[in-house]
Amino acid sequence: MFRIIKYAAALPGLLLLASGLPAQENLTLSAALEKALDNNYGIIISKSQEEIASINNNWGTAGRYPRVGFDATSSNNFDALNNSSSNNLFGGIGLNWTLFDGYRVQVTKSRLNTLETLAKGRSAVVVENTIQDVIQGYYNVLLQEEQLEVLQRVMRLSGDRYRYEVMRRELGSALSYDVLQAKNVYLEDSSAYLNQQVVLRNAIRNLNFVLGEEPNQRWNFTDSFQADTSSYKLSDLLDKMLSNNQTLQNQYANLMLQKDQVRLQESDLYPSLRLSAGVDNSWSRTQNEGLDPVTRESISPFANLTLSYDIYTGGTRKRAVEVARVNEEITQTETDEIKHSLINVLYNEYDRYDVRTNLLQVAEENLEAAELNLEIAQEKFRNGTINSFNYRDIQLIYINAALQRLRSIYNLIDSRTNLTRLTGGFIGQM
C-alpha cells in the first residue's frame, strides 16, 4: 500500500549512491569566480592571444631597426683541357636600414599599441562574459535548490494527505475514490520533485563547465538566495557606461586602427630613404699546370644611400588613401550605432530592474498570503469543511506563489548583473 511512498522517499538517496559523486565542498560565489578566472577555457585562450599581441608590440616589428646579414659563397672549377683549377671564396656582411619611409614606422608602432590594447579589451570582454555566466549559473543553482525544497514540501503534504485517506478508508470513513485521487496527486507531485532533481543536477554541471571543473563535482552552495533591491540613478549608470563599457572601449580601439590605416596609406605618398653598408671580402686561388698557384684577396667596405620615389602609379596610392578614409567613416558610424544601441539597452534594463523590484515585493506578499491560506486549508480539510478539490487548488496556488517569488528573486539578480556588466562594473571591481 505504501510502496510508492517508500520508493519516492528512497529514490533520491539511491540516485546519489548510483552516481558515484565525490564529497561536497563549500562554494561561495567569490570562490566560484576565482575558480573560473583561473580555469575557464575562454579566459585561458584570450590571455594567450593578449600575450601574442604584447610580444609583437615592439619597435623591431614596426621596422625601426636595421637588418644585418651575412653571405658566403664558395665556387671551385677545374679545366680539363688546360689542366688548371681555381678556387674562389666570397663573403660579406651588410646592413640595410630604412631611414625614412613616410612615417610608416611610427604609424605601424601606433597600430601595434592599439592592437595590444584591443587584445586586452577582447580579453576583458571574455572575462566579463565569464563573470556574468558564473553569477547567473551560481544563482540558477540556488534557484533550482529552492524550487526543489518547495516541491519537496508539497510532495510531503500530498503524501500526508494520501496516508490520511488510506487511514480513513481503513476506518470506513473514506471511499476508494478519495484514496485514488490522493494517490494520483501524490504521484504527480513526486514526479515534479524527481524531475526538479534532474534540473538541479544539470544546473550544477553547467556551472562546473564554466568553472573548468569535472561534471560530477559536487558543491555545498553557501551563499544565500537573496536579491539586492537598492535603487540606481539612471544618469550615473549612463555616465559609467559611456566611460567604462568594454564593448564600447573596444570599438574605440577599432576606430583608432582605421585612423592609423589612413596614415599608413598616406605614407606611400612620401619618398623613402635607405642606407646600405657593409664589407665584402673575396679570396681566389688559381693553379695552372707547371706553375705555382696564384692567390688574390680583396676587402671592399661600402656605404650607399638610396632615395626612391614613385612619381606615377596610376592613382593607386590616392585611391588607397580614399578607401582608408571611407573605412574610417564606416567605423565611426559603427561606433555611433554601438553607442546608441547600448544606451537603448541600458534604458530598457533600467526599467526592467525597477519593474522586477516591484514584482518581487508583490511576490513576497503573494507568498505570505498563500502560505497562510495553505495552513488554514489544511485544518479545514481535516475538519471536512472543504473537499479535496478545493484543497488541491489551494496547494497549486501556494506552489505558483512560491515558485513565482523564487523566479522574481532570480530575475532581479539577473537584471542587476546586466546593469553591472553594461556599466563596466565587473572589470572595475577586479
Q: What is the pLDDT of residues 272-302, one digit of tens each?
A: 999 999 998 888 888 777 677 878 888 989 8
Least confident segment among 10-14, 191-195, 274-278, 387-391: 10-14
Q: Helices marked H in 172-218 — which ranges? A: 176-211
Separation between Cα atoms, residue 252 and residue 200, nearest integer Å: 42
How many other C-beta atoms are found inside a 10 Å radius of the C-beta of residue 160?
14
Q: Which of 164, 188, 140, 157 is nearest to 398 (CA)?
A: 157
Bridge-based pairing of strands 84-100 and 219-221 is: unpaired
Main-chain dihedrals φ then ψ at residue 200, nearest 5 degrees: -65, -45
Confidence of residue 391 (pLDDT cuts 50, 70, 90): confident
Cell numbers 485517506 label which residue? 165
Q: Find the helix packing angle between 176-211 and 388-422, rounded to 10°.
A: 10
How high is the pLDDT of residue 143? 95
Which pLDDT score, from 0 to 100, does residue 406 have?
A: 94
Predicted local confidence at residue 409, as pLDDT: 95
Per the model's pLDDT, the better-predicted residue between 358 and 2 turns out to be 358
pLDDT band at 51 (very low <50, low <70, confident <90, very high): very high
Average pLDDT (192-209) is: 94
Radius of gyration of the chain (CA): 39
- Report how far apart, in Å, the C-alpha atoms of 10 and of each of 3, 36, 202, 282, 325 are: 10, 35, 21, 94, 72
Q: 129-162, pLDDT tens digit by residue?
A: 999 999 999 999 999 999 999 999 889 888 887 7
* Average pLDDT of the segment spanning 68-78: 87
Helix (H) or strand (E) holding 273: strand 272-287
pLDDT of 95 higher than 60: yes
Q: Per CATH, which fold does 227-270+316-430 belong to?
A: Outer membrane efflux proteins (OEP) (1.20.1600)
Residue-wise pLDDT tens digits, 109-123: 999 999 999 999 999
Phi, psi for residue 231 in degrees, rounded to 5: -90, 160
DSSP-assigned beta bridge partners for residue 304: 276
What pLDDT, on the 0 to 100 scale, is given for residue 377?
86
Three cell numbers, residue 210? 564554466
Residue 223 has pLDDT above 70, yes or no: yes
Give the pLDDT score at 175: 64
Position with higher pLDDT, 353 vs 285? 353
> Nearest to residue 11, comparing CAs of 152, 182, 194?
194
All three cell numbers of 331:
567605423
Average pLDDT over residues 219-244: 92
**pLDDT above 50: residue 265:** yes
Name, in order, each residue with C-beta under 8 angstroms of 39's C-beta and a sequence gap of 6 or more.
211, 212, 213
57 phi, psi to nearest 5 deg: -80, 85
Q: What is the pLDDT of residue 15?
A: 44
Whether the per-residue pLDDT at 240 is higher than 90: the answer is: yes
Band (332; pLDDT cuts 50, 70, 90): very high
* Mean pLDDT taken over the chain: 87
For 22, which DSSP code?
P
More confidently predicted of 166 and 211: 211
Instruction: Please count the helices (runs of H) and the strands (runs of E) in the chain.
Output: 11, 6
Q: Using the predicted structure, report yes or no on whether residue 233 has a pLDDT greater than 70.
A: yes
Looking at residue 193, what is its pLDDT?
A: 93
Asked if pLDDT for residue 394 goes beyond 60, the answer is: yes
Q: How far apart are CA 109 and CA 300, in angstroms?
A: 36
**pLDDT given at position 328:** 94
Q: Is the pLDDT confidence value at 428 over 80?
A: no
Instruction: Report percent pLDDT > 90 for the chain.
Output: 56
For residue 14, the model assigns a pLDDT of 44
| pTM, entire model | 0.79
- pLDDT band (50, 70, 90) for residue 310: confident
Q: Where are the domains of the chain?
A: 227-270+316-430
Whether the CB-CB separation of 189 and 398 falls below 8 Å is answered with: no
Q: Which of 10-14, 290-294, 374-378 has the highest mean pLDDT?
A: 374-378
What pLDDT, on a 0 to 100 scale, did the predictor assign at position 165? 73
Q: Which helix (H) or strand (E) holds 301?
A: strand 294-308
Quick one: pLDDT band at residue 82, thresholds 50, 70, 90? Answer: confident
Question: Mean pLDDT, to the nearest integer, of 8-32?
Answer: 63
pLDDT for residue 26 is more than 80: yes
Residue 245's nearest CA partner among 106, 158, 169, 342 is 342
Give me the residues paired with residue 88 across strands: 75, 284
User: How many residues belong to the chain?
Assistant: 430
